Copies of this chain bind each other. A is one copy, B any other.
Amino acid sequence: MTAKPVNLTEALASFTDVYSPRIVARMNDYDVRVAHTRGEHVWHTHADTDEFFLVLDGRFDIALRDADGHEHTVVLYRGDTFVVPRGTEHKPSSPGGSILMFEPSGTLSTGDVPDGAIPAHVDRTAGHELE
């Protein structure tokens, strides 16, 4: 028994909320998730895992803060891939777009949030099932 193919365009068309990842595939103990992006995400860290991003459409920025507190932003467009290393504080933002993510199952979308304040438009989730 094998799972059926999932088309990313159809998956993204099945929901509209931003920063609320859907799980499109599972392989080993990892998830492949997709999300719509718009607005500011929140500064957070994943202490135990890297996080892979592929921009499917639009633009997606990732601000990164190094151990010294210096910040820089990586600007990504369709087809760009980027890995945020584990333990690196980061904050996504986007004028609008969609992304694919690869990360261990159970990884929370907001990781560890330094000050605990998560905006209402950002979903704290380990990913939702596709419907």
The answer to whether A81 and B2 touch across the interface, beta carbons within 8 angstroms, is no
Copies of the protein in its oligomer: 2
- Bound complex: CA of A51 vs CA of B28, how far in Å? 8
Decide: A32 near B2, CB < 8 A? Known: A7-B79, A79-B7, A81-B8.
Answer: no
Residue of B nearest to A76 (CB): B5
- Bound complex: CA of A5 vs CA of B77, how far in Å? 10
Q: Is A49 interfacial (CB 8 A cutoff)?
A: yes
- Give residues of chain A (1-48) contacting chain B, Cβ–Cβ below 8 Å: 2-3, 5-10, 24-28, 30, 32
Interface on A for B, CB 8 Å cutoff? 2-3, 5-10, 24-28, 30, 32, 49-52, 54, 64, 74, 76, 79-86, 88, 100, 102-104
